[in-house]
Structure 1
Amino acid sequence: MERLYFFLTTLLCMLFNGYGLAQERPVWENDFRERFSKVVDDIEKRHHITIQYDSAKLAQLWVAFAQWQYRTTPAQTLTNVLAPLPLTYRQLDDSTYRITSYEYFRKHPEEGAQELARLMASYRTLSQWKSRSGDLSSCIRETLGLQRIHRTPVTAAVKNSKRQYNGYTVENIAIETLPGFYLAGSLYVPTGHSGKLPAMLCPNGHFVSGRYRPDHQLRCAMLARMGVIAVSYDLVGYGESILQLEESDHRRSLTATIQTINNLRMLDFIYGLAAVDTSRIGITGASGGGSQSILVTALDDRIKLSVPVVMVSSYFSGGCPCETGAGHHFCGGGTNNVEIAAMAAPRPQLLISDGNDWTADFPTIDLPYLKQVYSLYNQEDLIQNVHLPNDKHDYGPAKRQAMYAFVAEHFSLETPPFKDPSGHFSEEGCVVEEEAKLYTFEMDSQKLPANALHGFAQLQEALR
């Protein structure tokens, strides 16, 4: 009996020790589980690289089957190991990687290049491209719920506080884009010009202070001094839209629809102005304003010229649900912002990129594809890129200079009076106003029209 007791005790100890060992070592019983920090150390040594990550948040994670997922390159290894967590990585240089949270709207540059090659192989002729473009347009409209939005004149607009400056006026406006929903903006109109004038829509991007920031005002004022009617207007959840909505409503999937409607209705308003030459209407915006620029141009042929700035990339679709939340990038079996930008063809388009965001690879990955699409129309010269490798994610002076020159060329503007001795466009006569001067409703909800809706739920009802 004692021998049996000794045998069973020994067997249990062996089993317990084996089980404990299995918990400490990566073995089959624990899914070959290892600490995240240990896995990172292993990958760094294996591939002779440096990996940056938030150790406070990630070090205590467990990774299952990590060593089974190691491959011959760091990119393959990191992709395999991080995907189930879900995490992803960015390559900072030849030997440095940064681990980040998974971003559904971001791919790796090589994936963007591969997708463009796949797309281009599917339409070798102009007729094939037109068929693809038409299908995308229909699908995007349906996905965003734009079937009920038709081109109709905006005959009534709230207008107030016209100010006179050197060569232009500024007037605050608001138009009703949906029943009870008002889009506030400012209209910059040239003075001292005869005949009908070109116009530019200037949607705002995701920048602090929205359309009130100095660079946004400067570009609208400069366009007006050059003889172009310019209009700036709020993003949903920015500016005076918060009189009807919350700031947080900006990050909703339905906002992609509302912002597109806002742009199309502002286009209706501009198109209906007696002073506007409807054969010369363009659009330009940076970042989220660039997303709006390519989408509106793709959907409406009344836009004759477009200048999307620091936005268009085959591997970045837009980091806000207001750009990607509705799922229109799934159209046609999958599309991206470069293909959407190509839907502008053969209309003149200038894409401005920089070296410090997702447009850094635009000249090498994305521009050749766009050139190919424009070549189907024999209009390669109408698609242009200005790349500023040392610039950042903004609509800074060098980017504005490129836009002014492009607009002047294609809208046949007389530019000598607006250039300095060095040949640059001079913004010296442009006035940056205090934010409060640009308010249409004085940031007071009591001054909204009587039928103004309040809250996102009421806005949803207006869309039904």
Structure 2
Amino acid sequence: MQKIKSILALALLMFIHQSPIQAQTYSTKYEKPLSTVMNGLEKRFKVKFKYNVDTTGLKLTYADFRVRAYSLEESLRNILAQFDFNYWKQSNNIYKIKPYEYPRRHVQEGEQMLKYLSGLYSNKEQFEMRRDSVRREVRKLLEIDKYKDSLVHHKAILGKIIKNDGYTVQNICIETLPGEHLFGSIYSPATKGKHPLIICPDGHFNGGRYRKDEQQRLGTLARMGAICVDFDLYGWGESEMEYGKDSHQTDRAHVIQALNAEVLLDYMWNNRKDVDKKRIGVNGGSGGGTHTILLTVLDNRITAAAPTVNLASHFDGGCPCESGKPIQLAGGGTCNPELISFFAPRPLLIVSDGGDWTSSVPELEFPFLKRIYGFYGAEDKVTNVHLPNERHDFGINKRQANYDFFIKVFNLDKTKLDESKVKILEPSALQSHINGK
């Protein structure tokens, strides 16, 4: 009996020694498995976590001291920072745990950034000093002038003109850097005379610039009287044949796409006598909206801009083609709303929706822009069309907002607004085929 009691006592001592509760001491850095801590948070705050990261075997030091009884999100920040993870709220009680993303922040951080930026200038003079300084630094960080110095300046290769109802389409290929090309299409009105020009950077929507809604938008704008030019993303479409499909996921994509927009604008400016140089627009959605903003920073010839479903103070663009170069570090730190504010007091449309990161625009980014435009007495020149029940796309209501904007600022012919008149061409018809494919 005594032997049995001794064995039980020894077992109890071993259990106590190995108990996680007893291990919670300074000497063990109050360490716990991350999974244990996260499970505890779920029970304490009555939430559910979904994971895009592997937490197997991860240990959290000073575990319980990182938890704040009054705040789940502060607790998550304290806990996840050790592993370079972040959290994103998906509904009232569901959170996704993801790797840290340098271009993506929480809405509250965007709000704090705009508050900080607003404190840097209280009048037009202070704002313009900041504007000019940040613009110069963006060019330097993007390194676009190094690339522009290497342009080959060869003649453009123009395709056959495709005649449609009230507009034409012509493909264009320009050798930019030695052995490298941009590939695009020019949508022109069938009418004679001077026409506004709209450069249309593309986003990451399926189908690229060959998709139906892209052709509908550019064709309709052309029918109403605007010349529109779009072009392949770096490593997409025909560009993929030159660079390969993995090239888009590089920081070079950021500068090449900006360079291609500039090259096309230069070509149209210098070679098309039907371009009205007083009416130069830029219009793109999603990643194309990011490059819409960037083009306004790089080129003072732009007179009207309409970035669509992209603007946010808390998101710079999740693709390297939008944030591969560190331009958001210009001026000690900036963001897309400040960059597009430099466009003031020229006409600006911001299209946003309730189903993506632009849901904060009406309450956060748009008031910031209105304040800047107020420095010029031009609050009426900046407009927000917000679609709270829609998601991230370039659907008909987003396109309609763009049509209305350019009809107003460029005096387009509204009677020609009819998307059904636009002929949707096969992708091969919008390519130059210089690569023999």
Q: How does the TM-score come out when normalised to structure 2?
A: 0.92
Counterpart residue number, 2:4 = none
The equivalent position to 1:61 in structure 2, one of 18, 37, 58, is 58
| 1:88 and 2:80 correspond | no
Q: Distance in 1 between matches of 2:30 and 2:264?
A: 58
User: Displacement, 1:130?
Assistant: 0.5
Q: Distance in 2 between matches of 1:84 and 1:142?
A: 33
RMSD: 2.5
Q: Distance in 2 between matches of 1:326 and 1:125?
A: 30
Alignment of 1:232-271 (within 5 A): 232-271=230-269
Counterpart residue number, 1:9 = none
Counterpart residue number, 2:7 = none
Contact 2:154 2:174 in 1 (8 A): no
Counterpart residue number, 1:7 = none
Q: Distance in 1 between matches of 2:428 and 2:29?
A: 61
Measured at CA, do residues 383 and 268 of structure 1 come closer, stay the same or move farther in structure 2, by a change above 3 Å?
Answer: same
Measured at CA, do residues 430 and 117 of structure 1 come closer, stay the same or move farther in structure 2, by a change above 3 Å?
Answer: same
Alignment deviations for residues 372-393 of structure 1 (CA, whole Å, 9 cap, x no partner): 1111111111111101111111
- AA aligned to 1:254 is R
The equivalent position to 1:109 in structure 2, one of 94, 101, 107, is 107
Q: Distance in 2 between matches of 1:24 and 1:51?
A: 28
Q: Distance in 2 between matches of 1:314 and 1:372?
A: 15
SS at match of 1:161: coil
Counterpart residue number, 1:289 = 288
The equivalent position to 1:225 in structure 2, one of 202, 205, 223, is 223
Counterpart residue number, 1:74 = 72
Alignment deviations for residues 292-349 of structure 1 (CA, whole Å, 9 cap, x no partner): 0000011211111111011110001110112112111011010011111111111111
User: Displacement, 1:86?
Assistant: 1.5
Counterpart residue number, 1:456 = none
Measured at CA, do residues 24 and 212 of structure 1 come closer, stay the same or move farther in structure 2, by a change above 3 Å?
Answer: farther
User: Displacement, 1:15?
Assistant: 9.4
Contact 1:204 1:210 in 2 (8 A): yes
- AA aligned to 1:188 is Y
Measured at CA, do residues 55 and 391 of structure 1 come closer, stay the same or move farther in structure 2, by a change above 3 Å?
Answer: closer
The equivalent position to 1:433 in structure 2, one of 391, 413, 425, is 425
Counterpart residue number, 1:395 = 394
Alignment of 1:129-140 (within 5 A): 129-140=127-138
User: Displacement, 1:40?
Assistant: 1.8
User: Displacement, 1:18?
Assistant: 6.7
Measured at CA, do residues 268 and 361 of structure 1 come closer, stay the same or move farther in structure 2, by a change above 3 Å?
Answer: same
Contact 2:29 2:62 in 1 (8 A): yes
User: Displacement, 1:31?
Assistant: 2.6
- AA aligned to 2:227 is I
Q: Distance in 2 between matches of 1:56 and 1:112?
A: 25
Q: Distance in 2 between matches of 1:361 and 1:310?
A: 11
Counterpart residue number, 1:455 = none
Alignment of 1:178-197 (within 5 A): 178-191=177-190, 193-197=191-195
Contact 1:32 1:65 in 2 (8 A): yes
Aligned length, in residue pairs: 428
Alignment of 1:14-413 (within 5 A): 20-21=18-19, 25-47=23-45, 49-54=46-51, 57-58=54-55, 60-71=57-68, 72-148=70-146, 149=148, 156-191=155-190, 193-272=191-270, 273-413=272-412
- AA aligned to 1:305 is A
Structure 2 runs not aligned, ≥5 long = 1-9
SS at match of 1:295: helix
Contact 1:154 1:269 in 2 (8 A): no
Contact 2:17 2:23 in 1 (8 A): no
Measured at CA, do residues 55 and 18 of structure 1 come closer, stay the same or move farther in structure 2, by a change above 3 Å?
Answer: farther
Q: Distance in 2 between matches of 1:386 and 1:73?
A: 34
Alignment deviations for residues 29-57 of structure 1 (CA, whole Å, 9 cap, x no partner): 4332222332122212333x313213883
User: Displacement, 1:399?
Assistant: 0.4
Q: Distance in 2 between matches of 1:56 and 1:327?
A: 26
User: Displacement, 1:17?
Assistant: 6.6
SS at match of 2:82: coil
Q: Distance in 1 between matches of 2:320 and 2:13?
A: 53
Q: Distance in 1 between matches of 2:13 and 2:128?
A: 69
User: Displacement, 1:157?
Assistant: 0.7
| Identity between Structure 1 and Structure 2 (%) | 37
Measured at CA, do residues 61 and 446 of structure 1 come closer, stay the same or move farther in structure 2, by a change above 3 Å?
Answer: same
User: Displacement, 1:84?
Assistant: 1.1
